[in-house]
Amino acid sequence: MRIDNLQYANWSEKVFRQMREGQVDAVHVTIAYYETFQETVRNIAAWNRHFAAFPDLIMQAYTASDIDHAKATNRTAIIFGAQNPSPIEDDIDLVEILHRLGLRFMQLSYNNQSLLATGCYEDDDPGITRMGKEIIAEMNRVGMVIDMSHSADRSTIEAAELSTRPIAITHANPDAWHPARRNKRDEVIRAVTEGGGMLGFSLYPHHLKNGPDCTLQDFCEMIARTADRFGTQHLGLGTDLCQDQPDSVVTWMRNGRWTKTTDYGEGDATNPGFPPMPSWFRDNRDFDNIAGGLAATGMTTEEVAGIMGGNWYSFYTDNFTPAG
Amino acid sequence: MRIDNLQYANWSEKVFRQMREGQVDAVHVTIAYYETFQETVRNIAAWNRHFAAFPDLIMQAYTASDIDHAKATNRTAIIFGAQNPSPIEDDIDLVEILHRLGLRFMQLSYNNQSLLATGCYEDDDPGITRMGKEIIAEMNRVGMVIDMSHSADRSTIEAAELSTRPIAITHANPDAWHPARRNKRDEVIRAVTEGGGMLGFSLYPHHLKNGPDCTLQDFCEMIARTADRFGTQHLGLGTDLCQDQPDSVVTWMRNGRWTKTTDYGEGDATNPGFPPMPSWFRDNRDFDNIAGGLAATGMTTEEVAGIMGGNWYSFYTDNFTPAG
């Protein structure tokens, strides 16, 4: 099973064909950064049009077994996620509504403070809010995975503690390998993985040692060392591939509607756009490179298969349906 | 000039006639607790229907001089405010839009954490968020007053520091007089008043010593002592009168859409509804009692006039229009 647990491409037939070429069985796609509930529904409607237009290439997945069906019919399963809790606005009842519509991951915050948790760009992190505690319980109940990729440390650790089900960091790397605002310190990774949660390794260049010049060997060695420390079964991929997006999209990701000045996030004024991808991972066609690189580190076939998708598949099996 | 800087009644001809009977020249009315932008616009539309139905009793005020016109024509000026930043959702541009529609006060948080600041019921307060700093600057620019009545201490002090214009606590009392989650500690009152800001004294019974049994003398002595410490010119009234509201409204105020369990706020399970008002302040007809009580403390006529409305009027004159 080959799964990429985070992409936000400028979706097109070209991208969907590349998913098939790369034998990608499932992709967790972002459908909201700052979108309100109704704007998110509109994005789901746009996906419905993709599903109708390309029924031989893609299908929506609500459960892990939908991925089996996609694989058996040579298609890529698409799983919806939100990088911010903006789709639920201030309304706890929208968690169940959005789960029914297929939302399976939701970040509790995205860089900034949300109603639920603190983002990794805030100066101070008071942890999970009163509403955040209520929403965690509701996400646990319906089977929506708590994603803390863009959240701050204390909020992430508290979310792992408060959640009765495993949580995820869908796309980030260890801060010890490459210090970055978005990469995660050991105690954060430990809090998530020791509760059965998952870490998805990112290929977004700002999260890589040496950025776009990061070598395949460096990346795969980092994964192997992370596996030594936290357990292979808790690891997968979340490439953060933002293929074919214009730079206006990264400006939206960083600025939303919250500021009238320009926030450059992980970039800066001289480098405001999307960075180029590493040469060995241009797009969905290049997953074989990663599989080969992981094998070259000395990992077993089973370990490589787990990181390439098996571990996410197991996690989905346990966490996409109601508790009980 | 007689001004009440906070009411949220079940608005009716009866209430508007009582405002005239009590010679109230202006009332700051709450038009949103958790409402989104569009829900807030709907509440403004409902007010437009009141203005059309009762043109001899009420009119909307956009500026302090509109209050002069209301007074000259024997009407009560209505000033819009929001107790939560929910009307701007996550969109900084909505500050200017809502200012144009007449919103002159907006709380940065209401009991819980918001996108901008922390509420007084959260366990921990990290201060003003990244978005909060942007919104404070925008509110300063257009002339919308920052209200921190339901915010936590650090957030309030930081808001006073960050704002280039005076801010307000529209409805609360000193915690030193009656310890309560919603009453304010000395350093918070000092941070607000030393920047030219205002404190409006509340008559909501949970904010009063001995609750509904608080005496007029106790209340007015508290005001006199607060004046001694912080300066009379920074003080006014914000009664928090919630006349004729069913208890379902206080349940909405406390629970909004953020929880599936019941939060009792300042009440408890045995006392979940609106508390009864003190006998000497039943509604808008009883402001003379307060004026008399203040005079009985030994305050001068000018000081009493300031607290009964003159100070709010001066504050409105300076703070309802764009900076410049």
Inspect the interface and report whether the beta carbons of A34 and B90 lie closer than 8 Å.
yes
Look at the block and give the residue holding tokens 């010593």: B209
Structure tokens at B285: 């007809």
The per-residue pLDDT for A323 is 87
- Segment A113-140 shows an average pLDDT of 98
Where does residue B211 fall: left (phi above 0), alpha (psi -120 to 50 degrees), or beta otherwise?
A: left
Residue B192 lies in a domain: yes
Residue A32 lies in a domain: yes
Nearest to B22 by CA among B39, B35, B9, B34: B9
Question: Measured between CB atoms, which of B112, B122, B134 is closest to A260?
Answer: B134
Q: How far is A38 from chain B (nearest CA, A)?
A: 12
- Segment A72-94 shows an average pLDDT of 98
Burial A77-95 (b: 16+ CB within 10 A, else e): bbbbbbbbbbbbbbebebb
Q: Are strands A76-82 and B168-169 parallel, antiparallel or unpaired?
A: unpaired
Query: Which residue range forms the structural domain that includes residue B123?
Result: 3-319
Nearest to A173 by CA among A230, A247, A251: A230
Residue B126 at interface with chain A, using a CB cutoff of 8 Å: yes
Residue A70 lies in a domain: yes
- Segment A121-144 shows an average pLDDT of 98
Q: Which residues of chain B have pLDDT under 50?
A: none
Using a CB-CB distance cutoff of 8 angstroms, which residues of chain B are in contact with residue A260?
A: 92-93, 134, 138
Percent of chain A with pLDDT over 90: 98
Q: Could you give the maximum distance between any two Cα atoms of chain A, in Å?
A: 52
Helix or strand holding residue A251 (H, E) = helix A247-255
Contacts of A35 (CB under 8 A, 6+ apart): A42, A43, A82, A86, A87
pLDDT by residue (tens digit) across B236-286? 999 999 999 999 999 999 999 999 999 999 899 998 899 999 999 999 999
pLDDT by residue (tens digit) across A38-61? 999 999 999 999 999 999 999 999
Query: What dihedral do alpha carbons A24, A230, A224, A304 form, nearest 10°?
Result: -30
pTM: 0.92
Between residues 189 and 248 of chain B, which touch chain A (CB distance below 8 Å)?
none
Q: Which spans in B267-324 are helix H?
A: 287-296, 301-305, 311-319
Report the amino acid identity of residue B160: A
Instruction: For residues A110 and A119, give the distance between their C-alpha atoms in angstroms, rounded to a whole number.
Output: 5
Strand ranges (E), chain B: 3-7, 26-32, 58-60, 76-82, 103-107, 145-147, 168-169, 198-201, 235-237
Using a CB-CB distance cutoff of 8 angstroms, which residues of chain A are in contact with residue B261?
A: 134
Residue B37 lies in a domain: yes
Task: State the Rg of chain A over Cα.
Answer: 18
- Contacts of B310-313 spanning 24+ positions with Cβ under 8 A: B310/B1, B311/B198, B311/B232, B311/B233, B311/B234, B311/B235, B311/B236, B312/B1, B312/B3, B312/B5, B312/B26, B312/B198, B312/B200, B312/B236, B312/B237, B313/B1, B313/B3, B313/B26, B313/B64, B313/B67
Beta bridge partners of A236: A200
Instruction: For residues B188 and B174, give the distance between their C-alpha atoms in angstroms, rounded to a whole number.
Output: 9
Residue A127 at interface with chain B, using a CB cutoff of 8 Å: yes
Inspect the interface and report whether the beta carbons of A122 and B121 lie closer than 8 Å.
no
Phi, psi of B212 (to 5 degrees): -60, -20
Residue B55 lies in a domain: yes
- Segment A262-282 shows an average pLDDT of 93
CATH number of the domain to which B278 belongs: 3.20.20.140
Using a CB-CB distance cutoff of 8 angstroms, which residues of chain A are in contact with residue B121?
A: 130
Look at the block and give the residue holding tokens 């144009």: B100
Contacts of B215 (CB under 8 A, 6+ apart): B278, B280
Q: In terms of residues, how long is chain B?
A: 324
- Number of domains observed in the structure of chain A: 1
- Segment A183-201 shows an average pLDDT of 98
Look at the block and give the residue holding tokens 């006392």: B271
Residue B91 at interface with chain A, using a CB cutoff of 8 Å: yes
Residue pair B125/B158 in contact by the 8 Å Cβ criterion:
no
Residue B324 lies in a domain: no
Q: How far is B109 from chain A (nearest CA, A)?
A: 10
Residue B86 at interface with chain A, using a CB cutoff of 8 Å: yes
pLDDT by residue (tens digit) across A112-125? 999 999 999 999 99
pLDDT by residue (tens digit) across A297-315? 999 999 999 999 999 999 9
State ipTM. Answer: 0.85
Residue B153 lies in a domain: yes
Q: How far is B90 from chain A (nearest CA, A)?
A: 6
* CA B73 to chain CA centroid, nearest Å: 25
Average per-residue pLDDT in chain A? 97
Inspect the interface and report whether the beta carbons of A112 and B126 lie closer than 8 Å.
no
Nearest to B227 by CA among B198, B187, B191: B198
Instruction: For residues A254 and A251, give the distance between their C-alpha atoms in angstroms, rounded to a whole number.
Output: 5
Phi, psi of A69 (to 5 degrees): -65, -40
pLDDT by residue (tens digit) across B98-120? 999 999 999 999 999 999 999 99
Between residues 23 and 82 of chain B, which touch chain A (CB distance below 8 Å)?
34, 36
The per-residue pLDDT for A324 is 76
Residue B275 lies in a domain: yes
The per-residue pLDDT for A205 is 96
Structure tokens at B240: 């928090």
